Amino acid sequence: MKRLIVIMLILSALPMSAQVDRKEVRAGNRAFRKGDAATAELEYRKAVAKDSTSVAGLNNLGVVLSGKGDKQGAAESFGKALKSSTTPQDLIRSSFNLGTVAIDTQNWQEAVKDFRNVLLMDPENMVAKERYTYAKKMLQNQQQDQDQNQQQNQNQDQDQDQNQDQQKDQNQQDQQDQQNQNQDQDQKQDQPQPRQQISPQQAQQMLQAVQSKEKETQDKVNKEKAALLKSRQKEKNW
């Protein structure tokens, strides 16, 4: 349906303006009616080469390019046609075609602008009204989606920053706890160790053990002295 509307517009273009490229444009229109898009494109390009400001040639070339999927080439051709338009009919036709390609490529902002221009010049154009309303609604949806995505990205950034701050605080706290623990250990090492308390009975046993050890040592020394003295007396008797 969209393609048919554009075609009707370009086929009715010639009687509305007197141009020097009528021969090529009419030849292109005949080929287009027969379904020979390749020949039609060739004739329209001849018309544009003959007159670069040919509104009919540019618009019709844009239709052929759009039909074979070259939306960018179609938009460029329609844009040139709009710049070359001098009559209300040509302005409406070029703006309408630009808006149609914008919808096909989901360029909603451009589509809203183009169909608004059509309605300013042709307020009773029902097809333009429908497409303007549709493009405006899609643009609003697109903007809402972008706002939601932006909000989600901001929330993610905030969560990430918060997590990083929490991790930083935790690391600082861990370092402080480690420092406090090291200080406590150093202080414990520097403090004198308390003497071990012993009972009177244990003290008595320890004293007896020391005295016994000293007695054994003294007896051993006395025995060694006596043996030495005895040995010396024997030597004198000789």
**Where does residue 233 rank: exposed (0-12), middle (13-18), buried (19+ CB within 10 A)?**
exposed
**Rounded average pLDDT over 209-218:** 80
Do residues 64 and 80 make contact, with C-beta atoms less than 8 angstroms apart? no
Helices (H), the chain: 2-11, 22-33, 37-50, 55-67, 71-84, 88-104, 108-121, 126-190, 200-237
**Rounded average pLDDT over 189-213:** 71
- Give the pair of three-digit tokens for residue 38: 């390749």
Evaluate whether residue 29 is within a structural domain.
yes
pLDDT band at 237 (very low <50, low <70, confident <90, very high): low
CATH of the domain at 80: 1.25.40.10
Least confident of 10-14, 66-70, 141-145, 156-160: 10-14
Evaluate whether residue 55 is within a structural domain.
yes
With CA atoms as reference, report the closest residue to 66 among 2, 129, 134, 126.
2
Evaluate whether residue 25 is within a structural domain.
yes
The total domain count for the chain is: 1
Evaluate whether residue 214 is within a structural domain.
no
Evaluate whether residue 145 is within a structural domain.
no
Evaluate whether residue 161 is within a structural domain.
no
Q: Range of 46's domain?
A: 2-105
Single-letter amino acid, residue 103: I
The predicted model scores a pTM of 0.59
How far separated are the first and last CA of the chain, in Å rounded?
Answer: 154
Least confident of 29-43, 137-151, 204-218: 204-218
